[in-house]
Structure 1
Amino acid sequence: MEGSGKKEQLLIKLVEQLDEEKVLALAGEMLNGGMDPLYLLDLVNEGMNRVGKLYESKEYYIADLIMAGLIFRQVLELDQMTAHFHARHLNKKGKVVLGTVKGDIHDIGKDIFRGMLEANGFEVIDLGVDVPKEVFVKKVDEYKPDILGLSGVLTYTVETMKEVVAAFEEAGLRDRVKIIVGGHHLTREACRYIGADDFAGDASVGVKICQAWMGESANG
């Protein structure tokens, strides 16, 4: 976040340091001071990205990642946040079916993406983790979402994601839904290989892609 003030930088740093109490106190103070809840979530997400990098460089452990996810959820539960969500929920932007693909039980990235989608007015049906391709197909057919989100942290999930997209093609449902894949290891080439419409290694980028898609469908 370039050009951010001292409080903004401090919030990012406190999330990175996993200082739960201070994060919640400062987030509450900033929201009471009139900060846009969505901007605040972007700051917290920036801190989460730093935690992710520290985990990748083996300075942080899985317990630290889980702690960061917990802090994120608690920020989402602050009174000023929930009030904002309820106001936004009256005017739904779009519907997303979301899940972590089979063979992967990581839910932190998926949960952050879901939280940010909901904060931005999307309706999210979260299928959880280790979701088989048949379940994705069945639930998309049932809920008829605008977007399908496939999450995966492990590198081999690229193959699994490709199989999910192929299952949609076989079921004749591929053209009915936009597919976004999420995970730090994904690249433009991997996205093309999977057959998805787009990819994101960061929750806030993923939300912006979904917003752009809904803008297109609203206009088109």
Structure 2
Amino acid sequence: MGNLTQLAQALVDLDEELVNKIVKEKIAAGEAPLDIIKECNEGMGKIGKLFEANEYYLSELIMSGEILKGVMNELEPLLANVEKEASTADVVVIGTVKDDIHDIGKNIVVTLLKGTGFDVIDLGVDVPAETFVKTIKETGARVLGLSALLNFTFPAMKEVVDQLAAAGLRDQVKVIIGGAPCNEEVRQFTGADYLAKDAATGVNICKEIFGKC
């Protein structure tokens, strides 16, 4: 990652006042909301790396998420005006797996997906495998996003994939996993199709699956 923009760096520094000031200035200047979100994603990506390196801890992660929520609240009305790139058939189901209540990364992905026109079914946090499977079966969704921030919930991700297979649904849905501790080894362990290291990557994977790239 190269030099961060002023906005991204302010987010990394957890400077809420400066983040809000820059965002308001960008909105006033007519900057595209997705470009603002992209800068925030760069900052969140850096924060994720600091978290992985044990330089930032859960408190910093939570605080950055709260700052980002404020940014998203500012941008939400503008995102409604973004030209939609997806059809109503482009359904994505997403949730944080059982025994994990973290939703920062998931919420960022949900906001970005909605902003680019995807129909998102957000199941929330601490979601049991049965609920994921039931939702895929009822909606016919082609993409399932599984989020986790805690290492010990990796088996819960695997359980979702296994239950999809047991229900005869595995071939109809692409499974994406994401979260700070997830890596290629975890993807292979869970049997997921894709690994999203950040929110922007997750959105791009969805676009690829639906042929929107």
User: TM-score, normalized by length of structure 1?
Assistant: 0.86
Say whether 1:203 aligns with 2:184.
no
How many angstroms apart in 2 are the aligned matches of 1:59 and 1:182?
20
Go from structure 1 to structure 2 and tell me whether the alpha carbon gap of 1:196 and 1:56 turns closer, same or farther (over 3 Å shift): closer
Say whether 1:82 aligns with 2:85.
no
Pairwise CA distance, 1:102: 1.0
How many angstroms apart in 2 are the aligned matches of 1:154 and 1:70?
19
8 Å Cα contact 1:185-1:201 kept in structure 2: no
Query: Which amino acid is 1:152 matched to?
Result: A
Unaligned runs of 5+ in 2: none
Identity across aligned pairs (percent)?
Answer: 43
Unaligned runs of 5+ in 1: none
8 Å Cα contact 1:109-1:203 kept in structure 2: yes
Match of 2:57 in 1: 61
* Structure-to-structure mapping, 1:127-146, within 5 angstroms: 127-146=123-142
Match of 1:25 in 2: 21
How many angstroms apart in 1 are the aligned matches of 2:194 and 2:86?
25
How many angstroms apart in 2 are the aligned matches of 1:186 and 1:59?
18
Q: Secondary structure at the match of 1:140?
A: helix
Pairwise CA distance, 1:9: 1.3
How many angstroms apart in 1 are the aligned matches of 2:9 and 2:180?
21
Query: Which amino acid is 1:188 matched to?
Result: E
Q: Secondary structure at the match of 2:92?
A: strand
Pairwise CA distance, 1:81: 4.4
Pairwise CA distance, 1:127: 0.8
Q: Secondary structure at the match of 1:145?
A: coil
Say whether 1:117 aligns with 2:113.
yes
8 Å Cα contact 1:76-1:82 kept in structure 2: no
User: TM-score, normalized by length of structure 2?
Assistant: 0.88
Match of 1:148 in 2: 144
